[in-house]
Amino acid sequence: MITFLSGGTGTPKLIRGARYHLPDEEICVVGNTAEDVWISGNFLSPDIDTLIYLFSGSLDTTTWWGLTGDTFHTHEEIVRLGGDEYVTIGDRDRAFHILRGDLLRRGMRLTEVTAQLCASLGVRARILPMADTAVTTVIRTAEREIHFQEFWVRYRGALPIEGVERRWSTPPFATPEVLSALQSAEGVIIGPSNPVTSILPILECEGIKEALMDVPVAAVSPFIGDAPVSGPAGILMRALGYSPDSHSTWNLYRDVTDFFIQDIRDPVDVPGAIRMDTLMNSQGVDSALAGAILSLIAGK
Ligand code: GDP
């Protein structure tokens, strides 16, 4: 079994490629939950949703969120009634959030809720939230602190940032399911996800780094030059005092990785890095990249 650490865009693209080489039963994904949020009374777990939709064949891969062909009647009506729903939630997408919120309120763990949703859709990969307790990435601006979703979706990332922090009431522990998925894996792949909002929250969960010591780990950079392929990773790295590039990403991951992969176009020099085409925008690149990483891991 191969276990991925994933956010909701870059790593899911790589997982799509890995599915050409591995049956879904052989894939496990530990998903970031530090972007989770209650909205309009329901529980969004954006990265976990993207992964569930990817494996159930219903993900809208033009945006990498939401379901293909979804409608937005409920969202439009909520906004018309004066509701402050800053995320555009599809009607069928919302059904997941309603059911998840309901099951959580009844006392189920997020891991169990996710397993139930996966089973009902016939998903054969294991999708595991990194932790069962709440962790939130917040953005500090001059006026106030806001949830990362609000920063990125409502304000389109256009507010000056004073800091990025994680908030919780109890420090997050990796779940027993996550620890066992790391310990029993033939290899772990940290995909090209946002280091600040997707991968570090997973690595910060108690138990994860130790579990990664005994297994081959490959990580893929989400940066080419001084910019991410997409999204706010650049401004968030700067907010933490890091340069937004592959070298800083390697520094953040180097204590847990055996292989660091950066793009063939990347002008930044990272000692010992392996060069591959990581730009998964054209057909076949995702599967070629995944195949090459799986071979690296198998040869270790
Ligand atoms: P989020 O949860 O939606 O923010 O998604 P992730 O954290 O999983 O992924 C966002 C990161 O994916 C960004 O930093 C992008 O630079 C990176 N990314 C997206 N597509 C690609 C790609 O094709 N290649 C590489 N190398 N990185 C990518």
Residues in CB range of 9: below 8 A, 6 or more apart: 50, 64, 193, 230, 231
SS3 for 187? strand
Q: Compute CA 236 distance to the chain's CA centroid, rounded to the nearest angstrom.
A: 15
pLDDT by residue for the chain (300 residues), tens only, comes to 999 999 999 999 999 999 999 999 999 999 999 999 999 999 999 999 999 999 999 999 999 999 999 999 999 999 999 999 999 999 999 999 999 999 999 999 999 999 999 999 999 999 999 999 999 999 999 889 999 999 999 999 999 999 999 999 999 999 999 999 999 999 999 999 999 999 999 999 999 999 999 999 999 999 999 999 999 999 999 999 999 999 999 999 999 999 999 999 999 999 999 999 999 998 899 999 999 999 999 997
Sequence-ordered alpha helix ranges (H) in the chain = 10-18, 46-55, 73-80, 91-105, 110-120, 148-149, 176-183, 200-203, 208-212, 233-239, 246-253, 285-299
What is the distance in A from the centroid of ligand 1 to the CA of 14? Answer: 10
Residue 274: other Cβ atoms inside 10 A = 14
The backbone torsions φ and ψ at residue 26, rounded to the nearest 5 degrees and listed phi first, read -95, 5
Q: Which of 6, 63, 229 to mutate to test the pocket of ligand 1 (most atoms within 8 A of CB)?
A: 229
Q: Atom 8, ligand 1: which residue's CA is nearest? A: 7
Q: Give the global pTM.
A: 0.97
What is the distance in A from the centroid of ligand 1 to the CA of 105? Answer: 32
Residues with Cβ within 6 A of ligand 1?
Answer: 7-11, 13, 47, 192-194, 197-198, 220, 222, 228-231, 233, 263, 278-281
Using the Cα atoms of residue 225, residue 4, residue 184 and residue 172 in order, give the sign of their dihedral.
Answer: positive
Spans of all domains in the chain: 2-298
Domain 2-298 has CATH 3.40.50.300: no
